[in-house]
Amino acid sequence: MSLPLLYSTNVLLKLLIQERFRGDIHYVWCSESFDSQSLPRYSLRSQVAPSSNPADIYRELKGAVQRKDQHCYKMTEQKLSLKSLAVSWEAAGEINSEEKEEIVYMVDNASFEDWRPLVYVIPRAMVDLRLKVVPANRRASFGPEYILPDLRRHEFDIIEL
């Protein structure tokens, strides 16, 4: 039986970029539980690896923001991801050159506050038909992971812990 909510951890800057440059349509990687470690040990859903577990991602980013850790792995990964996406979106004609430059500038000049993590809480019923299962060979572990390529802002709530 599928659970009623999906969870995704994303940084504030990503939210702002998707809102401003992608027509408020959000591409998110999500899980059926916020913290897979809190689930029964032998259940499939508990087998989500820390690198994909929303709670672990949240804790890592939150800690890095509090410590002002310039070398946080997750933050470095996010910087690269957002900048390479800007280049790819421009190449695909989805944004113009000026917008690409603006995204790159925003990422390079973001404050720690801009990297603070947000938890997206997504009622599954609203998006169930658009959920794409991440193939097993692309996951970090056995637990199920999903992609929502076109999440709209009214389809999720944001919480900070």
Partner 1 sequence: MTELTTLRDKDSREAARVLAALSSSLLPEPGIAETSSHSALDSGVLKSVLAEIRQRLRVSKDDFSINTQSKIYAFVSREISKAALANTSEKNVKDRLGNKGELRPSQYQVLMGEENTRAVIEALGNKKSHVIEAVTHPDEFVHLQASYTSEDEDIRPTISIKSVIGKRAEDDFILLVISKREGQIQQVGPVFRIYHSEVDLRDIRQPFDILRAFVREYGLTFQIGSVVSKFIENEVIGVSRSLFNSSFSAPKALKPIEGTKGTYYVPFIAGAETHVQAPHSEEATMRVLFAFVVDISKYATTMRRHKVQLTPSEHWRFPTI
- For strands 117-123 and 157-159, give the pairing: antiparallel
- When asked if residue 60 is in the footprint of partner 1 (CB under 8 A), the reply is no
What is the per-residue binding string for partner 1 in 31-50, x denoting contact by CB under 8 A?
Answer: --------------------
What is the per-residue binding string for partner 1 in 66-95, x denoting contact by CB under 8 A?
Answer: -----x-x--xx-xxx-xxxxxxx-xx-x-
Residue 21 has, within 13 A of its CA and on its CB side, a CA count of 28
Token pair belonging to 130? 């658009």
Print the SS3 string covering 90-139. Answer: HHCCCCCHHHHHHHHHHHHCCCHHHHCEEEEEEEHHHHHHHCEECCHHHC
Residue 38 has, within 13 A of its CA and on its CB side, a CA count of 8
- When asked if residue 111 is in the footprint of partner 1 (CB under 8 A), the reply is yes
Q: How far is the CB of 90 from partner 1 (least distance, A)?
A: 8
Q: How far is the CB of 2 from partner 1 (least distance, A)?
A: 19
* SS3 (DSSP) at 20: helix
Q: How far is the CB of 40 from partner 1 (least distance, A)?
A: 26
Token pair belonging to 7? 């969870």
> Which secondary-structure segment (H or E) carries 74?
helix 73-91
Nearer to partner 1, 99 or 155 (CB): 99
- When asked if residue 105 is in the footprint of partner 1 (CB under 8 A), the reply is yes
Nearer to partner 1, 39 or 147 (CB): 147
Residue ranges binding partner 1 (CB under 8 A)? 20, 27, 29, 51-52, 71, 73, 76-77, 79-81, 83-89, 91-92, 94, 97-98, 100-102, 104-106, 108-109, 111, 114, 132, 134-135, 138, 140, 145, 147, 149
